[in-house]
Amino acid sequence: MPLTDTTVNNLKPQAKPTKDFDGGGLYIEVLPAGGKYWRLKYRFDGKEKRLALGVYPKVTLKQARAKRDEAKDLLAKGIDPAEQRKATKAAESDTLKAIYLEWFAKNAKRWKESHSVTISQRMESNILPWLGARPINDITPKELLTTLQRVEARGATETAHRVKQVCGQVFRYAVATGRAERDPTYDLRGAIPPAKAKSFASITEPKEMGALLRAIDGYQGSYIVRQALRLAPLVFVRPGELRAAEWAEFDIERAEWRIPAEKMKMKTPHIVPLATQALAILEDLRPLTGAGRYLFPSERSESRPMSENTVNAALRRMGYGKDEMTGHGFRAMACSTLNELAWNQDVIERQLAHAERNKVRAAYNRAEHLPERRRMMQAWADYLDDLKKSASVIPLHTQKSPL
C-alpha cells in the first residue's frame, strides 16, 4: 500500500531499523536514533543495488517519488543511476568554482581577513557568474579573456589584471592536483592593456608641507587622531601599519618601533628608528592610551584600532581634498623630499620597506642600513620642524567640524 504524508510523519523509531515501502522500489528507512532516510531498491546487470534519495522531512514524499521516477527513466535507458550520480559529482568537483573554493580554503588560513575578502569579492563579482560552472579543464584562453574584458570595459583595468593573477593561481592549483592540463592565463600575456599607474595624492612642495604640518598641530578634533596625524610624517609607514601600531612594539630605550612581519605588506619584520620628536609624541600619548593595546584605539572599542578612514577623514575636515593629500601621501612626501635632499636611495627604500627586485641591491639591503637610517630619520624630523617654523601665517585651508 503506498505511503501517505501522515503515515511517514507518524513513523516512530524502533529498537532496530524499519523499512516502509511506497512502491516501485521506493521505501523509507527509520533508524533507532530517529532519522528517516529515503532509499530506492533496484536491480542493474542482475545485481540488487540501493540508492539514497535524501532525508525526511527535508525531502518530502512527493520529492522522493520524483527522484524515484528519474532513476527509473535512467534504468530504462540502460544507465545505472548510482554511477550517473558519481559521474555528476565528479564533474561538479572539477568546475572552476569548486576548485577555486578548494584553493581558497587552503590559502585563506594564512591571509589577512581583508585580503581574503578582496579575493572573494573579485572572483565572485568578475569570474564565477560566467565561468564558475564550467569544467576547469575545458576553459579556453579565449573564454577567460572575454570574461576579463568585461572587467576592462567598465574601466577597471587594474582589477582585470589582479583577477587574472588570481585565476592563474587557481588554474595552476588545478594542474598540480591533476584536474587541468595547463594554465590558460599564460596565453593572455599582453592581451589586457597595462593599468595606468595610480599615485596617492601627496604634498611635496616645502612651503605647502609646512602649512600642512601647522594645520595638523592646530587640528581641533580628537586628541588621539591629532597625535596619529603628527606621528604619520615622522615615521611614513603605510596607513594600516600606523593605525594598528601597538605599544608592545615600541622600544623607547632603543628608540625603535619594530613592526612584526604579519603586519607588513612584504611579510618581513620592519624597524622604524624614532626621532626625538616621535618619542615626544609617544610620551604625550602614553597617559591616554598606554594602558591599552593600541596607540590609536577606535572610539567605539579599545580592543580595536582606529578605522582605516580616520586619518583621511581628518585631512578632509582640515580642508585637504582627496586629490591633495591622503594618509598614504606622507610616504610619497618623505620619499620625494629625501631623494631631493640627496639621501642614499637604498636607505630611503629600505626605510619605506619597499620590495627590492634587484638582487644585488636586495643583498645589500639585508644589512638594514640602521645607523644611516637613524641619522636620516632624525634629520628628516628636524627638517619638518624647520618647515613648520618657516612661516607663522595660518594656512589657507579652513578646518571643518571635529572628527
User: Known catalytic residue: 37?
Assistant: no
Task: Give yes or no: residues 71 and 116 share one domain.
Answer: no
**Global pTM value:** 0.53
Q: In this structure, are 59 and 167 located in the same domain? A: no
Examine the domain organization and report whether 137 and 178 are in the same domain: yes
C-alpha cell of residue 259:
613592526
Residue 118 is predicted with a pLDDT of 87
Regarding whether 262 and 279 lie in a shared domain, the answer is yes
Distance set, CA 148 to CA 154, 155, 166, 182, 189 (Å): 11, 11, 12, 18, 12
Q: Is the pLDDT of residue 398 over 60?
A: no
Phi, psi (deg, nearest 5) at residue 40: -125, 125
The total of structural domains in the chain comes to: 3
Does residue 397 lie within any of the structural domains?
Answer: no
Pairing relation of β-strands 36-44 and 26-30? antiparallel
Check 41, 150, 354, 374 and give the catalytic one: 354
DSSP-derived 3-state class of residue 258: strand
The active-site residue, picked from 106, 265, 267, 361, is 265
Pick from 243, 363, 259, 254: nearest CA to 294: 243
User: Would you state the pLDDT for residue 113?
Assistant: 83
Residues 226 and 361 in one domain: yes
Catalytic residue among 226, 238, 243, 263: 238
Instruction: Decide if 64 is inside a domain.
Output: yes
Q: Which pLDDT tens digit goes with each residue over 108-161?
A: 888 888 888 889 999 999 999 999 989 999 999 999 999 999 999 888 888 899
Do 232 and 372 lie in one domain? The reply is yes
Q: Is-cis flag, bond preceding 269, omega within 30?
A: no
Beta strands in 247-377 (DSSP E): 250-251, 256-259, 270-273
Catalytic residue, from 331, 369, 373, 397: name it. Answer: 331
Let me know if 65 is a catalytic residue: no
Domain end, chosen from 53, 88, 123, is at 88
Residue 366 has pLDDT above 60, yes or no: no
Cα 180 off chain centre by: 26
| 219-257 pLDDT tens trace | 999 999 999 999 999 999 999 999 999 999 999 999 999
**Which residue out of 39, 328, 350, 397 is catalytically annotated?**
328
Q: Give the mean pLDDT of the chain.
A: 88
**Percentage above 90 pLDDT, the chain:** 70
Domain limits for position 324: 206-389
Contact between 351 and 372 (Cβ < 8 Å): no
Residues 182, 269, single domain; the answer is no
C-alpha radius of gyration, the chain, whole number = 32
397 is catalytic: no
Q: Is 238 a catalytic residue?
A: yes
Same domain, 235 and 315: yes
CATH number at residue 83: 3.30.160.390
The CATH number given to whatever domain includes residue 180 is: 1.10.150.130
Q: Is 286 a catalytic residue?
A: no
Tens of pLDDT, residues 261-314: 888 887 889 999 999 999 999 999 999 999 999 999 998 888 899 998 899 999
Residues 210 and 308 in one domain: yes
Contacts with 271 (C-beta within 8 Å, 6 or more apart), sequence order: 256, 257, 258, 259, 368, 370, 373
Give the rounded distance of the alpha carbon of 308 from its chain centre: 14
328 labelled catalytic = yes
Question: pLDDT tens digits for 300-355?
Answer: 888 899 998 899 999 999 989 888 899 999 999 999 999 989 898 889 989 998 76
Give the SS3 label for residue 245. Answer: coil
